[in-house]
Structure 1
Amino acid sequence: MTAPNSSERKACWDARDHLWKCLDDNSDKSESCQNFQSEFEAKCPAQWVKYFTKRRDYLKYKEKIQTEGFSPAGGPRENS
């Protein structure tokens, strides 16, 4: 597979940005953004789609931690 050229990269990034905006506007309901999802998958290499999807999940998680704070999951406690 050859690396995407400048115009192909820009088309991919634009498709990603449109999808992410749609997801933000629709509270992450992907069924509302199916056209953008299809365009994103068509214009970006599969590895990039996987990377950008994980990246969005990470950024959303990071934002949540920064706004709501971190609270550890309740697990088994050690008895002293």
Structure 2
Amino acid sequence: MAAPNSAERKACWEARDFFWKCLDDNKDKSSTCHNFQEEFEAKCPAQWVKYFSKRRDFLKYKEKMQTEGFTPAEGPRGQAS
């Protein structure tokens, strides 16, 4: 597969942005944003879809850590090392 040209990249990024906005507006309910997701997947190479999905998850996780902070999980108690 050839690399997307400038117009194809722009169409992909716009489709991604519309899909992500829909998810943000609907509290990540992907069923509500099905049409946007289909368009995003149709306009972007599969590798890009995978990358952008992981990127969104990372950005959401990072945002959560910045707003809520990190609470370490409690390990087993009373065990000698």
The TM-score, its normalising length taken from structure 1, stands at 0.95
1:35 maps onto 2:35 in alignment = yes
Partner of 1:9: 9
User: How far apart, in 2, do the equivalents of 1:51 and 1:28 lie?
Assistant: 18
- Which stretches in structure 2 are left out of the alignment for 5+ residues? none
**Shift >6 Å, 4+ stretches:** none
RMSD of aligned C-alpha atoms?
1.1
How far 1:6 sits from its partner (Å)?
A: 0.1
Partner of 1:66: 66
User: CA offsets, 1:59-80, max 9 Å, x none?
Assistant: 0000000000001122224536
Q: Supply the AA of the counterpart residue of 2:14.
A: D
- Which stretches in structure 1 are left out of the alignment for 5+ residues? none
Partner of 1:52: 52
The TM-score, its normalising length taken from structure 2, stands at 0.94
> How many residues end up aligned between the 2 structures?
80
% identity of equivalent residues: 79
Higher helix share: 1
